[in-house]
Amino acid sequence: MKNWIITALISGIIGGVLTYIITRDTLTSSIASILVFIIIVLNNPKTRYLKAFYIVTFPLLSTIYFIIESKTDNFNIEAGLKQLDKITVLTLGIIAIVCLILDYLERNDKLKGRGAFISKKSNTIGDIKGDNNKVMQNND
């Protein structure tokens, strides 16, 4: 199916019906239906590069927002993630930019077939022709 929301909706309904058949509980089947819908929506293959972008940028943002320090007279607490070095920040930044570019290309159907960087060529030697999977030879 092309529309991922419809696929998620149908999957959620099927999950809810199966849960109702097993448990005979309306609340449990409703919760299961909503959970299945959310999981299927989040696993949309069209947004895989955007999800990778979020995963890559989380460590970059976590160094800014998730360092907590608490000091008292005899006790010092520091919780959070450690600061990243420059090479790690640069590498994660480059990967994040590449993920955004790939997401843009994927959403605009620029990455079709085998990929944007691999071309499919037909093999031809004399009378022998093939498409990389099978060989057709003329014996005329």
Instruction: Choose between 134 and 106: higher pLDDT.
Output: 106
The confidence score (pLDDT) of residue 1 equals: 44
Instruction: Give 96's Cβ-side CA count (13 Å radius).
Output: 14
**Structure tokens belonging to residue 63:** 């160094």
The residue assigned the tokens 């299945």 is 36
- Report, as an integer, the average pLDDT of 77-106: 78
CA distances from 2 to 5, 40, 104 (A): 9, 14, 18
The confidence score (pLDDT) of residue 88 equals: 78
Specify which residues 33 forms β-bridges with: none
Rounded Cα gap, residues 54 and 38, in angstroms: 18
Rounded Cα gap, residues 24 and 50, in angstroms: 39
The confidence score (pLDDT) of residue 136 equals: 57
How confident is the prediction for the chain on average, in pLDDT? 76
The residue assigned the tokens 């994660």 is 92
Which ranges of 1-140 would DSSP assign to H, the alpha helix?
4-23, 26-42, 48-65, 86-107
Flag whether pLDDT at 21 surpasses 90. yes
Least confident of 11-25, 27-41, 47-61, 106-120: 106-120
Least confident of 51-55, 62-66, 83-87: 62-66
Q: Are 108 and 115 in contact (CB under 8 A)?
A: no
The confidence score (pLDDT) of residue 17 equals: 93
